[in-house]
Structure 1
Amino acid sequence: MTGPLRRIRALPLRSRLALLVATAVAVAVAAVAAACWFVTRAQLEHQADATLRSTKVDKDYLGDLYKYCTSATKLPPRPYTGFTVQLIDAQGTVCIAPDSSKLPVTEADLAVVNGENGGALHTETDTDGVKMRVFTYAVTVTVSRGPGLPGTDLTLGVSVARPTSEINSPLSTLAWVLLLVSGIGVIGAGAAGLWVARSGLRPVDELTEAVEHVARTEDLTVRIPVEGEDEIARLSESFNSMAASLATSRDRQAQLIADAGHELRTPLTSLRTNVELLARSDETGRAIPPDDRKALMSSVKAQMTELASLIGDLQELARPDAAQPGPLQVVSLHDITRTALERARLRGPELTITAELAPWYVRAEPAALERAVVNVLDNAVKFSPQRGTIDVVLHRGELTVRDRGPGIPADELPHVFERFWRSPSARQLPGSGLGLSIVARTVQQAGGEIALLPATGGGTEAVIRLPGAPQPPPDAPQG
């Protein structure tokens, strides 16, 4: 059984569907044909038996037949046709017409003659080998003993028989007709199933061709027409959505590479210029003034720092698990913010940074969350004026960082979380344009949201909202 199943599974899907439809129709047609044949046979047999039971042979003819068998008198013509008639006496002696075949006498027939049974219906084979359906009933016949003498009443059994071929022949014809009709039906069902399979699987063929085209040409602009609302339509919609997502991802990847190349070009060009000046000084023996050399070395160090920061941000964005955060832990946002504030004060010692931090626990990746808070505070430090003030407030899961810098124009606010986007007014400041995009991703992974808003009175206000988590036990490790 395993071999045929393996061969069936190796067939194309449309062939398997056509075979399944043909098999189902064949089973249904066979069941209907068999039921029709058996019902017809039962009906014909019932009608034949009813006809035999209702057939009563003329008593005068029966008397003449008995005299023919006992005294060899002349037998008059039959008053009927299509039946075989024989007489049975109490001793089982049979009397038949000269052109009839003898039927065997059964115990049921004798029981009818003896008055023990009202009638007997059975199937027997006569002396000519013909299968007959026989009905035996009792009849009283008056037999004349001679001229002028009163007749004698005699109880005899009368067997009336008809050949079963009268039923079997129509049934045989019906069987052949049903077989022919069933064969035509199965062939038609197979053809219809193949047509339905081809029509129904046409969208699958289009999907296959589209996938093969994408694999061959890497063309992600291919779209499959969606018709209806069935499973095939849903599959087509899913493919179109997947192709659109892949195209968007590839465009973003290309844009990321282009933006990264553009951002790397500026510090590399400056670094190359400074290194060439230092190298030319050593080659020509013309010393660079100490102040200029110190400035060159400071510039080289700053460019190296900018490159290292940019490469670190790129590595963060290009992590394989960038879409999935690391192990989430219940951490105290107020402690993480307090640590980030210490670093911010070191980077802006001339600034005044105020902090009001109410306890709040969140579920997040500790290192990523700390880096996000540091990035937000670094932006505030970077854009704050000399001796400016930065206000940091944490209340019920809402962390607000407000600076007094130049602020962000309203038309630039929708772009602040895009990768490598930098405001035209901030391009002269250090930075890669990746910090806020990393912050937004980290906050979203923690189930929160972030927004940059113009602050009342000038400056920018960064708002981070994070859902709370149950406070960990006192002895639990903190992130």
Structure 2
Amino acid sequence: MNGLVRRFRGLPLRSRLALLVTVAVTFAVAASAVACWFVVRNVLVDSLDDALSEAKVAPAQVSERVGPDGQCQRTIITGDADNPDIFKETVQVVDSGSGHCVIIGKQSLDVTVEDRAVARSGSGYANHNATASNGDEYRVLTYPLDGRPGLAISLARPLSEVDDTLNNLVLVLALVAGIGVLGAGGAGLWVARTGLRPVDRLTAAVEHVARTEDLDLRIPVEGDDEIARLSESFNFMTASLASSRDLQQQLIADAGHELRTPLTSLRTNIELLARSEETGRAIPPDDRKALLASVTAQMTELAALIGDLQELSRPDAGDGGGKVQVVALHELTRAAIERARLRGPELTITAELAPWYVRAEPPALERAVVNILDNAVKFSPQHGTVEVTLDRGHLTVRDHGPGIPAEELPHVFDRFWRSPSARSLPGSGLGLSIVARTVQSCGGEVALRAADGGGTEASVRLPGAPMPPPEAPSAPEAFAQ
């Protein structure tokens, strides 16, 4: 059995479908044929019973052949014009004991319990099958003999009348069933080929993509069935892969562009220093100091850019990234503000921080908050003010700088995007991308908008709670907002 299953599974899908359709139709046809045979047989037997009931022998005809002592006068008749219908039957007299005698016909019939019961009771009737002395099967109708208590008449006709018709029916059903099974096999193969044609197109498309890496291929979608849904899913998958590939190529191109500028500057400065050493012409101390400061700044910018790229390439939180734990957002923001004050000592940074605890990766969330504050510090005027508030998970950072034009706001979270007015300032254009990625991984939202009265306001909403849970790692439900 297991071998048959393995061989069946080894067949092509269309062959399996055609075989299953053929087997299903074969069983259906066989069941229908068997049911038809039984129905016809019952109808024929009922018809034979009706014929026996209509051909009952008159009691007078029987009485004159049965003597007072119960002995029968047997009559063998091969044909008679007076009553030809009677001579189709075999007539047998049965008593309530074990005696019986044939009065019309050639063969005696086996006497059953039903026959004796009718003779004994003198009422009712019995229909049953019986075997004749020569082995033939007969259909028997037994009924009481009027005027002769204890005697009954068994009227019988051969079942060959039914069997011949049933045999012919078997031949017809077998022929029809055979034709039906062959037709079902052909129809199953046609249905399998027709039904799997969309799958063949999908298979060809997948093989084409695997062979050529052409992600622009789309499969026409027809209808709304499972195949259409599969085609839509394939088209969506290839579109997503194409978009991901484009984003990857764009990231590589943007990263190469961003790396080229500090590397070019760094190379130029180092070549100047090397040429000075080779030629023996000393660079003035002030110029040498400026060159070394520029080299240091370019190396710092490269390190920051590489760190930003590593952060963007790191898997999302909860999918293989750092450890997620309960973080006091107000304390983390306060630490980030202290770092921002070191980068803008001439600025005034005010803070109103209400307690708020969130589930996040502490380094990633701190970096996001620092990036937001760095932007505020970078674009604030000298001796300006940066206002930081945290209220029930809503962190806002507002500066009083030149602001961001409305047409540029949709692009501020794009990778490597930098406002034309900020391209002369240090930075990689990845800071806000990292902020958006980190906040979204924590289940929060981030937005940048123009502030009333000038400047820019960054808004971050993070789900959490004002109090830490009793057991922070095992009670994430306390942070449902």
TM over 0.5: yes
Q: Is the 8 A contact 1:361 1:469 kept in 2?
A: yes
Amino acid at match of 2:4: P
Change in Cα spacing, 1:393 to 1:80, as seen in structure 2 (3 Å) is: same
SS of match in other structure, 2:449: strand
Residue 140 (structure 1) shift: 7.6
Residues 18-56 of structure 1, C-alpha deviations (whole Å, 9 max, x = no match): 222222222222222212211211221122123223323
SS of match in other structure, 2:381: coil
Partner of residue 369 from structure 1, selected from 365, 369, 387: 365
Change in Cα spacing, 1:87 to 1:179, as seen in structure 2 (3 Å) is: closer
Change in Cα spacing, 1:427 to 1:112, as seen in structure 2 (3 Å) is: closer
Moved more, 88-97 or 341-350: 88-97
Residues 420-470 of structure 1, C-alpha deviations (whole Å, 9 max, x = no match): 011111111111100010001111112222222222333222122222325
Partner of residue 400 from structure 2, selected from 392, 399, 404: 404
Are residue 131 (structure 1) and residue 137 (structure 2) matched? Answer: yes
Residues 184-210 of structure 1, C-alpha deviations (whole Å, 9 max, x = no match): 223323333333333332222222111
Q: For 1:260 and 1:71, how far apart are their aligned partners in 2?
A: 119
Partner of residue 207 from structure 1, selected from 179, 202, 206: 202
Q: What is the aligned partner in structure 2 of residue 147 from structure 1?
A: none
Residues 384-413 of structure 1, C-alpha deviations (whole Å, 9 max, x = no match): 222222222222322221222222122211
Residue 85 (structure 1) shift: 3.8
Change in Cα spacing, 1:111 to 1:313, as seen in structure 2 (3 Å) is: closer
Q: Is the 8 A contact 1:88 1:113 kept in 2?
A: no
Q: For 2:57 and 2:334, how far apart are their aligned partners in 1?
A: 122
Residue 271 (structure 1) shift: 0.7
Change in Cα spacing, 1:93 to 1:42, as seen in structure 2 (3 Å) is: closer
Residues 347-379 of structure 1, C-alpha deviations (whole Å, 9 max, x = no match): 111222222222222222211111111011111
Change in Cα spacing, 1:131 to 1:264, as seen in structure 2 (3 Å) is: same
Q: Is the 8 A contact 1:92 1:105 kept in 2?
A: no
Q: Is the 8 A contact 2:352 2:389 kept in 1?
A: yes
Q: What is the aligned partner in structure 1 of residue 47 from structure 2?
A: 47
Residue 327 (structure 1) shift: 3.4
Q: For 1:155 and 1:432, how far apart are their aligned partners in 2?
A: 120
Q: What is the aligned partner in structure 2 of residue 258 from structure 1?
A: 253
Amino acid at match of 1:177: V
Q: For 1:189 and 1:24, how far apart are their aligned partners in 2?
A: 9
Are residue 80 (structure 1) and residue 84 (structure 2) matched? Answer: yes
Matches within 5 A, 1:150-169: 159-169=154-164
Residue 307 (structure 1) shift: 0.5
Matches within 5 A, 1:169-248: 169-248=164-243
Q: What is the aligned partner in structure 2 of residue 331 from structure 1?
A: 327
Partner of residue 428 from structure 2, selected from 429, 432, 437: 432
Residue 418 (structure 1) shift: 0.5
SS of match in other structure, 1:101: coil
Q: What is the aligned partner in structure 2 of residue 24 from structure 1?
A: 24
Residue 60 (structure 1) shift: 7.5
> RMSD in angstroms over aligned alpha carbons?
3.3
Change in Cα spacing, 1:432 to 1:131, as seen in structure 2 (3 Å) is: same
Change in Cα spacing, 1:253 to 1:138, as seen in structure 2 (3 Å) is: closer
Are residue 415 (structure 1) and residue 419 (structure 2) matched? Answer: no
Change in Cα spacing, 1:278 to 1:232, as seen in structure 2 (3 Å) is: same
Q: What is the aligned partner in structure 2 of residue 148 from structure 1?
A: none
Change in Cα spacing, 1:432 to 1:59, as seen in structure 2 (3 Å) is: closer
Q: For 2:362 and 2:305, how far apart are their aligned partners in 1?
A: 22
Moved more, 114-123 or 255-264: 114-123
Are residue 103 (structure 1) and residue 146 (structure 2) matched? Answer: no
Residue 332 (structure 1) shift: 1.7
Residues 288-315 of structure 1, C-alpha deviations (whole Å, 9 max, x = no match): 1111111111111111111111011111
Residues 130-167 of structure 1, C-alpha deviations (whole Å, 9 max, x = no match): 433344556589xxxxxxxxxxx999865543221100
Amino acid at match of 1:382: K
Amino acid at match of 1:265: R
Q: For 1:126 and 1:86, how far apart are their aligned partners in 2?
A: 12
Are residue 313 (structure 1) and residue 308 (structure 2) matched? Answer: yes
Are residue 38 (structure 1) and residue 33 (structure 2) matched? Answer: no
Q: For 1:59 and 1:273, how far apart are their aligned partners in 2?
A: 137
Partner of residue 345 from structure 1, selected from 341, 344, 358: 341
Partner of residue 280 from structure 1, selected from 271, 275, 284: 275
Q: What is the aligned partner in structure 2 of residue 8 from structure 1?
A: 8
Are residue 300 (structure 1) and residue 305 (structure 2) matched? Answer: no
Amino acid at match of 1:56: K
Amino acid at match of 2:199: V
Residues 315-343 of structure 1, C-alpha deviations (whole Å, 9 max, x = no match): 11112447845433222211111100111
Structure 2 length-normalised TM: 0.86
Residues 47-92 of structure 1, C-alpha deviations (whole Å, 9 max, x = no match): 212322332346786688789x969999994631551445658795
Q: Is the 8 A contact 1:330 1:471 kept in 2?
A: no
Q: For 2:300 and 2:422, how far apart are their aligned partners in 1?
A: 18
Amino acid at match of 1:132: Y
Listed as ranges, the gaps of 5+ residues in structure 2 are 474-481
Amino acid at match of 1:279: A
Amino acid at match of 1:24: A
Q: What is the aligned partner in structure 2 of residue 385 from structure 1?
A: 381
Change in Cα spacing, 1:76 to 1:272, as seen in structure 2 (3 Å) is: closer
Q: Is the 8 A contact 1:449 1:466 kept in 2?
A: yes
Are residue 448 (structure 1) and residue 444 (structure 2) matched? Answer: yes
Largest Rg, 1 or 2 = 1
Q: For 1:386 and 1:74, how far apart are their aligned partners in 2?
A: 138
Q: Is the 8 A contact 1:101 1:128 kept in 2?
A: no
Amino acid at match of 2:137: K
Identity %: 66
Change in Cα spacing, 1:80 to 1:420, as seen in structure 2 (3 Å) is: same
Residues 237-274 of structure 1, C-alpha deviations (whole Å, 9 max, x = no match): 21111111111100000000000000000011111111
Instruction: Report how many aligned residue pairs link the two structures.
Output: 463
Q: For 1:37 and 1:140, how far apart are their aligned partners in 2?
A: 38
Change in Cα spacing, 1:63 to 1:254, as seen in structure 2 (3 Å) is: same
Amino acid at match of 1:227: E
Moved more, 358-367 or 36-45: 358-367
Q: For 1:270 and 1:118, how far apart are their aligned partners in 2?
A: 122
Q: For 1:472 and 1:223, how far apart are their aligned partners in 2?
A: 51
